Amino acid sequence: MNTKAIFTAIASGALALTIGFGQAKAAENVETTANGSNNNEITMVSSSQATAISGKYHVTASSLTLRANATTNSKALAYISKNTTVSAKYKKVVGSKTWFKVTVKGKTGWMSAAYLKKGSSVKKTSESNALSDIVNTGKQYLGVPYVYGGTTPAGFDCSGFTRYVYAKHGITLPRTSRAQRAAVKYTSNPQPGDLVFFNVGGGAITHVAIYAGNGMLVHAAGNRVQFQTMSTYWKYYVHSYGTVR
């Protein structure tokens, strides 16, 4: 084979390799782009959990917590009283629980849909009457034994009792008496259903009870849940009153 033929063969082979590499690279880019597009599509679908809704609802619980996110562990933004009308914008299902994103009293957050009813409130119930329902609920557990660390009707400690009773009305309180003090507003005019905090021995808060009106308490103290007066032993250790109103 002469020299010219040899160079021609080499040049043709190099051109073929270049074209083949370019086609493979182009195919790779197309595949990468397609996969990237698919991944973005999947991400968009999986992150789009909230469904847009529109309408007025009103609170059916004595007091309902407005939260920063659709979970009972998220920060409480406000406590909204019974029959308050809210504007719902989004709906989200987390686990087995449905949440609505609402706007109420100038704040926006998430509420449990279980305690919201379609339509504006038509019957106004006073906050004091609504909170007094908490007292009645608490009285249902009179005689339940006091158990340190108890959080159920099998046995309550003081904060386990208040937390359990409030939860029956759609209000989530923290676990301990000190955390409950930090979570609710101070008031100098307690109403039935508000909380009373005590610091037996001085210093940090050591006890919490439900104020029942007329100087009476419903609380887990001593050896059981009791309906007791504040006018004797307890009056010496009152730290403060708290409310979700």
pLDDT in tens, 51-90: 999 989 988 887 899 999 999 999 999 988 888 889 999 9
Give the domain 127-243 fold.
endopeptidase fold (from Nostoc punctiforme) (3.90.1720)
Q: What is the mean pLDDT of the chain?
A: 81
pLDDT at res. 203: 84
**How much is the pLDDT for 156?**
98
User: Residue 220: is its pLDDT beyond 90?
Assistant: yes
Identify whether the C-beta of residue 164 lies closer than 8 Å to the C-beta of residue 155.
no
Q: Is the pLDDT of residue 221 over 50?
A: yes
pLDDT of residue 82: 80
The CATH code of the domain at 51-118 is 2.30.30.40
Q: Is the pLDDT of residue 237 over 60?
A: yes
Q: Read off the pLDDT band of 43 (50, 70, 90).
A: very low
What pLDDT sits at residue 19? 43
Amino acid identity, residue 214? N
Can you list the pairs that 222-226 forms with residues at least 24 positions away whose Cβ atoms lie under 8 Å?
A: 222/146, 223/145, 223/146, 224/142, 224/143, 224/144, 224/145, 224/146, 225/138, 225/141, 225/142, 225/143, 225/144, 225/146, 225/156, 225/161, 226/142
pLDDT digit string (tens) for 127-139?
A: 555 677 999 999 9
